Structure 1
């Protein structure tokens, strides 16, 4: 996992040849995978999101893999852009999309408040958020944020990251002024001096660093929750085989991303309209080795969930652990990712 250090992240993407061999082996095993779910009618259409924080979604959309995979069943594919977890989860809750990408803790918050979803795949383990200040900001510590304006998109991992960070020094939401702005608008507000800090999200955070000289004030990879692909429960029940087909394509993309970092960076840069160095920085902060949601993700979310109660973000009496157990469903991912690149394999490859 390359969130632990910049050097480790660089090694992960730097050993392209070794990882290509790992990716090829994974792809071979992937092709032999046969789902075991009961037969159901294929969906006439599947609507899903693509997001700049989900590299696989950009690769799949650019390559046309999903349309090709679903063509034999005459299933149409519709793509909708999500600018953040809050948007993806809103689309899922309203039925505007069937499958959408979000941060793990944001999905827990949505599920606790009635969003009928299950987390069926892990598209990455990222360090995609941190607290960001401007290049010339006098703010040097978390304590300096007391009474200051912080831009953060409510209902997203960066927003929840901010609250958890403040709690580490005994501050809460009432001790700062949180300005609810969508992620790209938060970057703009920081650059213009309209806010004192910003809860960043890649690729906008990487762009702020590379292009604006912004500084990461507070980082904590353990406070960055997993990137989940969520599906509506009614869609799962009605079209399990279509969902399996979608996840097969996602896992094909995951393996391809590991094996083709340079091409992935180019696709990310073109889709999100950032420079290649920005895209490379974003990708260096992602670990694509653990696609199956399960006990590891549940434990991380249960450690993070108290913030939802402490900040009164869920209804009184909510039991976050039960919500998390109901959210995570690894059955589909296990059927399509039998040859996932494990953290141990990744570390071994990087060391060669």
Structure 2
């Protein structure tokens, strides 16, 4: 594996790569790969011979995942692409190394009995969203597409599960949701989607840091090889994957099956589709002052992604399967 890593263009160390005592990862209900890996103990199995322990921390949204990454509580963060970009632009050493889901990440929902049917009708209304996550940026893009901005609505900042609860209780007029909570409120409470646009999603990015890449490239590669194993396993065993996500998230299997209708596990390597939505959202991030005025977001988009390890992971698993 060392040869494969150096073939990526990374400098060969003068001595054997230092090994971490522990590898810390997040798991999230919006990242089925993480749940599959955790369920089967594949990373523990991978690193046990080296005496390296694996620690898991639950991320309930991109904002939390990035907090853990940037504080050192985790070495990996499962986030939306926009969230990773904003973090990078704000000075954090976030680096995207893998795509875990090219999914439709968010929709705008209202309660079952709501008379609201369109985005313009949200003007002056309360809308729940989790700041710093894909649904939050989805909301901004949806408003912008309809001639509105964040000041035209009252954004109530709640974590995703609380946003669902607030919608169903009538505490807010709409909610920019995230699966599996979108699927749960659709099936269990009759909540209605009033706006969807898959092109406004920024997809599921697996991130680490510049430091981890520089210090532990071989260990990073082994983590991504396991992620790729999980992605292929999900594609081959969707029903079993749905059962695993349902068990972990404490949602019903019909809810997770609904979630999977918006999921796409066919791409692991960041490509122009993923970067395109970042570029399309960049002007809005400046306009809404999500990043500092004058920030050169094109530069940060170029710095954000390192796809070399994902490419090796895809090739490694394809060879293992004889493809």
Q: TM-score, normalised by structure 2?
A: 0.93
Q: What per-residue deviation string (whole Å, max 9, x for no partner) do you get for residues 232-257 of structure 1?
A: 11111111111111000000000000
Instruction: Identify the residue that residue 133 of structure 1 maps to in structure 2.
Output: 110
Which of these residues, 148, 158, 162, is aligned with residue 125 of structure 2?
A: 148
Instruction: Identify the residue that residue 148 of structure 2 maps to in structure 1.
Output: 171
Is residue 162 of structure 2 the alignment partner of residue 185 of structure 1? Answer: yes
Contact 2:201 2:277 in 1 (8 A): no
C-alpha distance in structure 2 between counterparts of 1:111 and 1:188, whole Å: 31
**Alignment of structure 1 residues 197-346 onto 2, 5 Å:** 197-338=174-315
Which of these residues, 24, 41, 44, is aligned with residue 18 of structure 2?
A: 41
Q: What per-residue deviation string (whole Å, max 9, x for no partner) do you get for residues 106-134 of structure 1?
A: 11111111121100000010112100100
Q: CA distance change for structure 1 residues 339 and 258 in 2, over 3 Å: closer, same or farther?
A: farther
Question: 1:144 offset after TM fit, Å?
Answer: 0.5
Contact 1:290 1:340 in 2 (8 A): no
**Alignment of structure 1 residues 94-113 onto 2, 5 Å:** 94-113=71-90
Is residue 6 of structure 2 the alignment partner of residue 52 of structure 1? Answer: no
2:117 aligned counterpart, secondary structure: coil
Question: 1:258 offset after TM fit, Å?
Answer: 0.3
Which of these residues, 46, 57, 62, is aligned with residue 85 of structure 1?
A: 62
C-alpha distance in structure 2 between counterparts of 1:229 and 1:59, whole Å: 15
Question: 1:34 offset after TM fit, Å?
Answer: 4.4
Q: What per-residue deviation string (whole Å, max 9, x for no partner) do you get for residues 125-164 of structure 1?
A: 0112100100110101111100000000000000000010
Q: What per-residue deviation string (whole Å, max 9, x for no partner) do you get for residues 68-97 of structure 1?
A: 011122111000000000000111111111
Question: 1:193 offset after TM fit, Å?
Answer: 0.1
Aligned residues: 310
Contact 1:134 1:197 in 2 (8 A): yes
Question: 1:57 offset after TM fit, Å?
Answer: 0.2
C-alpha distance in structure 2 between counterparts of 1:305 and 1:227, whole Å: 18
C-alpha distance in structure 2 between counterparts of 1:147 and 1:207, whole Å: 27
Q: CA distance change for structure 1 residues 71 and 205 in 2, over 3 Å: closer, same or farther?
A: same
Question: 1:339 offset after TM fit, Å?
Answer: 7.5
1:122 aligned counterpart, secondary structure: strand
C-alpha distance in structure 2 between counterparts of 1:232 and 1:97, whole Å: 10
Question: 1:300 offset after TM fit, Å?
Answer: 2.5
Which of these residues, 92, 95, 100, is aligned with residue 118 of structure 1?
A: 95
* Structure 1 consecutive aligned stretches of length 4 or more whose deviation exceeds 6 Å: none
The alignment yields a C-alpha RMSD, in angstroms, of 1.5
Contact 2:104 2:203 in 1 (8 A): no
Which region of structure 1 is more displaced relative to structure 2, 318-327 or 34-43? 34-43
C-alpha distance in structure 2 between counterparts of 1:339 and 1:262, whole Å: 25
Q: CA distance change for structure 1 residues 339 and 246 in 2, over 3 Å: closer, same or farther?
A: closer
Runs of at least 5 residues in structure 2 that lack an aligned partner in the other structure: 319-323
Name which structure has the greater RCO, CA cutoff 8 Å, separation 6+. 1
Question: 1:338 offset after TM fit, Å?
Answer: 2.1
2:208 aligned counterpart, secondary structure: strand
